[in-house]
Structure 1
Amino acid sequence: MNVDQIKANKKRKKRNRLIFRTVVLVILLAAVAYALVSNITKDKTKIDVGSQAPDFELEQINKNNELETIKLSDLEGKGVMLNFWATYCKPCEAEMPYMQKLYPEYKDKGIEIVAVSLDATELVINRFIDQYDLTFPIPHDTNEVVMDAYGVGPIPSTFFINPQGEVEAIVEGALSLENLEGYLKQIQPE
């Protein structure tokens, strides 16, 4: 073997190593990208039907401009419709009149509607409440703690909780009046 052949072999080995390393790097990058995309797009719901609903405590401003605390465990023995929404969400806005229409009747039957707002400011929420004349509790989840505890993805998202504190149904997206009433009947205390 002459010097030129030895140099050519070294070059070929270097090129093969570079190709091998590049292929390994591309495979690793693809695996990392796949893991990131899978993690971002996977269902965020941490709560399943049949799970015990996580307790929470949130505040809202009542009609007298006083802070009022809403705690899920205080509603034990009642059916609870727990709705996550925001004023900028058009489907959320569409279902609010249905919730208000059914609230007085189902409140008397032992069901509480709690609509957790994910808006940035209470001023926006209060204007919305006044605009639709809403009377059910609307606490403000300022730090999205409750939203994270329930694994809420898209809004509106609604959790129907039976009197024993178990999740009976989870609905992502807006509810029609008929669907809403059907779910409320499922969580009505006996």
Structure 2
Amino acid sequence: MSRLFGGFFFESSCFYVSIIGMFFRLLIYEVQMKRFLFVLVVMVFSFFSVLAEGSKYDFELYTFDTSLYSTEKVRNEPDTKILVVDFFALYCEPCKKALPNWEKFYQKNKDKGFKFVIVAIPGEGDRASEQNKLTEFFKKSGYSFPVVFDKYMLVGKKYGVVDKNRSANVPTVFVIDKKGKIVAKESDHKKLLKKIEKML
């Protein structure tokens, strides 16, 4: 009788131990799942936050003094209201004639949320010599706004300014809002200046 009772007690104890063990395993699994889901939610949220901040018109190019210029970074600066992207080429006389007016407007409005960048496109010569010509031109001119070099015309193609034959439609100027959307496009900078004044 004692053996039978002892065997029953041992089997019952094993059963309860296994139940308790299973409970703790389920508890640990649940904690791990919650932790995994939390990390997953954070990752998904971060991913879509990055997508929301970006724009298909954003680009990164180097200035002539080898500083990296990022339109996304400029757009996300707290004081930015609009960003003007002006495509420029040395062979474009209207482009060159517009520069003094842009400089004057830039100096007057750069503290009012107006951001401006020149995207210089190479001519028909080789890229190295074109870059040297552009560097020399802007160093002599002394303009204070940023100038970047679109060496392979990828940004020009993105904006639809440069075609597959490397032919550029300049001057072309774009106004980009805080969210990265194009809100204005113009070839006549004087007309555009009037529109920009109303945006600031």
TM-score band, normalised by the shorter chain? 0.5 to 0.7
Q: How far apart in 2 are the matches of 1:70 and 1:110?
A: 17
Q: CA deviation at 1:187?
A: 4.1
Select the residue among 122, 130, 137 that pairs with 2:131: 122
Structure with a larger share of its residues in helix: 2
* Structure 2 match to 1:157: 172
Contact (CA 8 Å) 2:186, 2:192: kept in 1 or not? no
| Secondary structure at the counterpart of residue 159 of structure 1 | strand
| Secondary structure at the counterpart of residue 180 of structure 2 | coil
* Structure 2 match to 1:103: 106
Gaps of 5+ in 1: 1-51
**TM-score relative to the length of structure 2:** 0.60
| Pair member with larger Rg | 2
Match runs of 1:13-32 below 5 Å: none
Structure 1 residues 143 and 187: alpha-carbon distance in aligned structure 2, compared to 1, 3 A threshold: farther
**TM-score relative to the length of structure 1:** 0.63
Q: How far apart in 1 are the matches of 2:101 and 2:64?
A: 22
Matched, 1:166 2:181: yes
* Structure 2 match to 1:69: 68
Matched, 1:134 2:143: yes
Structure 1 residues 128 and 183: alpha-carbon distance in aligned structure 2, compared to 1, 3 A threshold: farther
| Secondary structure at the counterpart of residue 148 of structure 2 | coil
Q: CA deviation at 1:165?
A: 1.5
Aligned length: 130
* Structure 1 match to 2:89: 86
Deviations 1:141-188 (A, max 9, x none): 00000001111151011100112221110113x422xx2432322443
Matched residue type, 2:196: L
Matched, 1:56 2:59: yes
CA RMSD in angstroms comes to 1.7
| Secondary structure at the counterpart of residue 132 of structure 2 | helix
Q: How far apart in 2 are the matches of 1:180 and 1:98?
A: 11
Contact (CA 8 Å) 2:58, 2:180: kept in 1 or not? no
Matched, 1:146 2:155: yes
Name the % identity. Answer: 25
Q: How far apart in 2 are the matches of 1:127 and 1:135?
A: 15
Contact (CA 8 Å) 1:163, 1:187: kept in 2 or not? no
Contact (CA 8 Å) 1:168, 1:187: kept in 2 or not? no
Matched residue type, 1:156: P
Matched residue type, 2:148: P
Structure 1 residues 180 and 170: alpha-carbon distance in aligned structure 2, compared to 1, 3 A threshold: closer
| Secondary structure at the counterpart of residue 99 of structure 1 | helix
Q: How far apart in 1 are the matches of 2:86 and 2:92?
A: 13
Which consecutive aligned stretches of 4+ in structure 1 deviate over 3 angstroms post-superposition? none
Gaps of 5+ in 2: 1-54, 162-167
Structure 1 residues 135 and 155: alpha-carbon distance in aligned structure 2, compared to 1, 3 A threshold: same
* Structure 2 match to 1:175: 189
Q: How far apart in 2 are the matches of 1:183 and 1:71?
A: 24
